[in-house]
A and B are shown apart, each in its own frame.
Chain A
Amino acid sequence: MRRGFPWARHAVLVLVSAVMLLPFYWVLKTAITDENIYAYPPRLTPLDPHLFNFVDVWYLIPFPRYLLNSVIVSALAVAGNVVLNALAGYALTRHFPAKRLVLLLLLSCMLIPFQATIIPAYLISARLGVLNTHLGLALPLLSTIVCIFIYKASFEAVPKSLIDAARIDGLSEWRIIATVLLPLSKPAIATNVILAFIWSWNSFMWPLIITRDAEMQTLPLGLARFLSYLEDTTGALYAFVVMVLLPGILVFLMAQKEFIRGLTSGATKG
């Protein structure tokens, strides 16, 4: 049984939440007013709120095109992560020669920052002929090692007898993954979806390097372009920020229960 003062615990949590949400509130408040973010003295409540800054963003730059590019790239990244990571995760639950070496290699690859692999990634993309394409934008994000290990932990939690029974029933390895393991790994799938979506949605450096046309730019690049045009700190810029943030927040809210379960699965035994 928990002891102490539950109200004190809740008060601290509310305070910490308020502090963490304050920057988001400030961005939202600036987006719905024409106030400057650095205005002094700062106002806590919005003055004459309106939504026309969002209309400005929609029309002053090719926002729908950026949005479409981001949606396509994120959809590719999510599909790639859900499928490819499941295959890799399942392979890592099986026994094969040099498995420990492969695991060690994967774990050590996580230590290499993406910036260090950009030149080889660019050269490979150029050789494949996918520069300045949606597939090229999504390519480095189609599989991520963290998400492979999330699948691996989830698959290892499935009783081995269930997989053996499926194999005795004549199911191929593909169908074991598709019809036995994946339906039992919804938290891992949700975690893959959220992480892949957020990483691809927020990706800036890779799209900056691989795109050549403004038509292929994604939302983070559009944001940088918008900032270079506008060079001020008033409503429209923050309206753009809100419009970039919203889909990620929506996907997270929709899958947060499974996401948290997926991240904590394998953390405890029994």
Chain B
Amino acid sequence: MSASWLRSRWVVVPGAILASTLAWNVYVAAHATGVIEGRVVDRSGRPVEGAIVTLFNRSFITNDPRQRTMTGPEGRFRFDGNDSHAVQLEAEVAGHRSERMTVRLWFRAQERRLETPLVLAGR
């Protein structure tokens, strides 16, 4: 029996869409750990220990604070269990604040290690 119907665009196109969707979902399942890691530095680029970093979740038109953590000896911080696809990060220590950094993710809870550090103004 001929299987020419398998080469029909009515099979190939939906099949390709289905396969891409499945592959994407597998990738998402493997990388949706909810971990966001980064660093806080001062203006001269030295790591800042003991800074409070706040994670804001984006809702429709507002950004609401969801989690807080403190930086370690290397100025590093880590958030677990982020369930949003768009967050903002802000660091603060002794009255000095960084600018809010917007982090947009490709899917909810995507694991992300930030290359650019949060820079504390005035230190």
Contact between chains at B10 and A56 (CB < 8 Å): no
Task: Name 13 A/B residue pairs within 8 A (Cβ), A-sorted.
Answer: A52-B86, A55-B85, A55-B104, A55-B105, A56-B86, A58-B85, A59-B85, A59-B108, A60-B59, A60-B60, A229-B61, A230-B61, A254-B10
Contact between chains at B104 and A52 (CB < 8 Å): yes
Contact between chains at A55 and B107 (CB < 8 Å): yes
* Per-residue contact bits, chain A 242-269, to B (CB 8 Å; 1 contact, 0 not): 0000000010001000000000000000
* Per-residue contact bits, chain A 47-63, to B (CB 8 Å; 1 contact, 0 not): 00010100110111000
Q: How far is the CA of A56 from the CA of B9 in the complex (A)?
A: 31
What distance in Å separates the Cβ of B2 from its nearest Cβ neighbour in chain A? 15
Q: How far is the CA of A59 from the CA of B61 in the complex (A)?
A: 13
Q: A52-B106, A56-B85, A254-B13 are in contact. List 14 more A-B contacts (CB 8 A).
A: A50-B104, A52-B86, A55-B85, A55-B105, A55-B106, A55-B107, A56-B86, A58-B85, A59-B108, A60-B59, A60-B60, A229-B60, A229-B61, A230-B61
What distance in Å separates the Cβ of A231 from its nearest Cβ neighbour in chain B? 9
What distance in Å separates the Cβ of A183 from its nearest Cβ neighbour in chain B? 13
Which partner residue on chain B sits nearest A53 by CB separation?
B104
Contact between chains at A230 and B85 (CB < 8 Å): no
* Per-residue contact bits, chain B 83-105, to A (CB 8 Å; 1 contact, 0 not): 00110000000000000000011
Judged by DSSP, the binding face of B is: loop
Q: How large is the interface on A (under 10, 10 to 19, 20 to 34, 35 or more residues)?
A: 10 to 19
Judged by DSSP, the binding face of A is: helix
A binding-site residues for B, Cβ under 8 Å: 50, 52, 55-56, 58-60, 229-230, 250, 254
**Interface hub of A50, A59, A229, A230 (most chain B Cβ within 10 A):** A59
What distance in Å separates the Cβ of B117 from its nearest Cβ neighbour in chain A? 22
**In the complex, chain A residues whose CB is within 8 Å of the CB of B107:** 55
**In the complex, chain A residues whose CB is within 8 Å of the CB of B108:** 59
Contact between chains at A230 and B60 (CB < 8 Å): yes
**In the complex, chain A residues whose CB is within 8 Å of the CB of B106:** 52, 55
CB within 8 Å of A: which B58-99 residues: 59-61, 85-86
Identify the 6 closest CB pairs spanning chains A and B, nearest first. A52-B104, A59-B85, A254-B9, A55-B85, A229-B60, A60-B60
Which partner residue on chain A sits nearest B13 by CB separation?
A254
Which partner residue on chain B sits nearest A232 by CB separation?
B61
**In the complex, chain B residues whose CB is within 8 Å of the CB of A58:** 85
What distance in Å separates the Cβ of B20 from its nearest Cβ neighbour in chain A? 13
Which partner residue on chain A sits nearest B106 by CB separation?
A55
Contact between chains at A250 and B60 (CB < 8 Å): no
**In the complex, chain B residues whose CB is within 8 Å of the CB of A50:** 104
What distance in Å separates the Cβ of B21 from its nearest Cβ neighbour in chain A? 11
What distance in Å separates the Cβ of B8 from its nearest Cβ neighbour in chain A? 10
Which partner residue on chain A sits nearest B12 by CB separation?
A254
Q: How far is the CA of A58 from the CA of B60 in the complex (A)?
A: 12
**In the complex, chain A residues whose CB is within 8 Å of the CB of B105:** 55
What distance in Å separates the Cβ of B67 from its nearest Cβ neighbour in chain A? 18
**In the complex, chain A residues whose CB is within 8 Å of the CB of B9:** 254
**Interface hub of A58, A60, A250 (most chain B Cβ within 10 A):** A60
Q: How far is the CA of A230 from the CA of B10 in the complex (A)?
A: 37
**In the complex, chain A residues whose CB is within 8 Å of the CB of B85:** 55-56, 58-59
CB within 8 Å of A: which B1-50 residues: 9-10, 13
What distance in Å separates the Cβ of A260 from its nearest Cβ neighbour in chain B? 16
**In the complex, chain A residues whose CB is within 8 Å of the CB of B60:** 60, 229-230
Q: How far is the CA of A50 from the CA of B58 in the complex (A)?
A: 18
